């Protein structure tokens, strides 16, 4: 049975959403950590922490997510996204704890224009993507590890595309956004609910944890341009969104042109219902307006 759950990266978007769900009275004991309370790159620190705080499950929400900066800070990206995942994996294995690790669509190069399945061969084309892919490989060395690949994550917490667009929508009359990169936005609240669903499923009648790789984003497909248009619409901002091509907005790191993820496996395995991205975006913006 899963009772004691260690969450790393609890100050981030997903960590905060898990925290909010836990505050609603979930039947689990959560141990919340971030860089100020636990150094996940320190093997000794991890061992001592878990010795004092026995766990049944570790949810790794910690990650180096500065995609462009990673091109210059390769060692830091690999330290957090690869080496630390290896240490967390070993910690779980040594303590008989299950492991949920969050990964990314950036493990693919986006050149296959059909929704990626978990069985498709990854081919990352950025330092960030490579570091996350290597992190997956570390996690998969443990037979009780479950990896969730997600994409275009946003929430009312932290920095993200939605918050940036809302700020620019107030400051400017127009904003230019890329229209030739296609994917599916993910409301971190929905991902957090899916993770809790997975834990509940494992505990119900002592069912199998069902380790392996799973994809999770909201339903539906759009471009960053479409996403921005909907943000302005739901926020009732007059800012005009102008479409531009990737070649007109050069960034240090390569982005997948098509990173839609097939979610059939997670839906069928854990009986999860996934909302459409516009429905969840509307909920998130309304929540931010109330705060």
Give yes or no for a contact between 103 and 110, defined as CB atoms under 8 angstroms apart: no
Chain Cα centroid distance, residue 103 = 6
Q: Cα angle at 190 between 280 and 227, to 5 degrees?
A: 40
Give yes or no for a contact between 219 and 35, defined as CB atoms under 8 angstroms apart: no
Give yes or no for a contact between 272 and 181, defined as CB atoms under 8 angstroms apart: no
Burial of 120 by CB count in 10 Å (0-12 exposed, 13-18 middle, 19+ buried)? middle
Contacts of 89 (CB under 8 A, 6+ apart): 99, 138, 139, 141, 142, 145
User: Strand, coil or helix: what is 57?
Assistant: strand
Residue 75 CA: distances (Å) to CA of 35, 79, 130, 191: 17, 6, 12, 29
Max distance between CA atoms of the chain, in angstroms, equals 56
Quote the CA–CA distance of 291 and 286 in Å, as a whole number.
Answer: 9
DSSP conformation class of 110: S
Give yes or no for a contact between 4 and 49, defined as CB atoms under 8 angstroms apart: no
Residues annotated as part of the active site: 128
Residue closest to 97 by CA, chosen among 3, 8, 30: 3
């Amino acid at each position: 049975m899963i009772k004691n759950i260690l969450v790393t990266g609890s100050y981030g978007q997903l960590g905060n959403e898990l925290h909010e769900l836990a505050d609603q009275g979930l039947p689990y004991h959560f141990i919340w950590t971030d860089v100020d309370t636990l150094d996940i790159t320190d093997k000794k620190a991890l061992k001592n922490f878990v010795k004092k705080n026995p766990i049944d499950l570790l949810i790794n929400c910690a990650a180096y997510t500065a995609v462009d900066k990673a091109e210059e800070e390769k060692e830091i990206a690999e330290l957090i996204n690869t080496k630390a995942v290896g240490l967390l994996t070993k910690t779980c294995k040594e303590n008989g704890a299950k492991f949920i690790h969050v990964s990314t669509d950036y493990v693919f190069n986006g050149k296959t224009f059909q929704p990626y399945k978990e069985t498709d061969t990854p081919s990352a084309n950025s330092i960030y993507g490579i570091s996350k892919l290597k992190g997956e490989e570390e996690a998969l060395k443990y037979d009780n590890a479950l990896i969730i690949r997600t994409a275009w994550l946003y929430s009312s917490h932290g920095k993200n595309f939605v918050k940036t667009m809302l700020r620019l929508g107030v400051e400017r009359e127009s904003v230019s956004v890329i229209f030739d990169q296609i994917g599916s936005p993910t409301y971190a609240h929905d991902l957090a609910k899916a993770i809790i669903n997975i834990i509940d499923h494992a505990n119900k009648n002592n069912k199998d944890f069902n380790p392996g790789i799973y994809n999770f984003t909201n339903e539906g497909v759009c471009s960053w341009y479409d996403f921005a248009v909907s943000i302005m619409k739901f926020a009732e901002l007059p800012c005009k969104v102008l479409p531009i091509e990737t070649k007109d907005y050069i960034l240090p790191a390569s982005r997948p042109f098509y990173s839609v993820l097939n979610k059939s496996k997670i839906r069928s395995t854990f009986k999860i219902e996934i909302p459409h991205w516009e429905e969840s975006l509307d909920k998130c913006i309304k929540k931010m307006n109330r705060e």
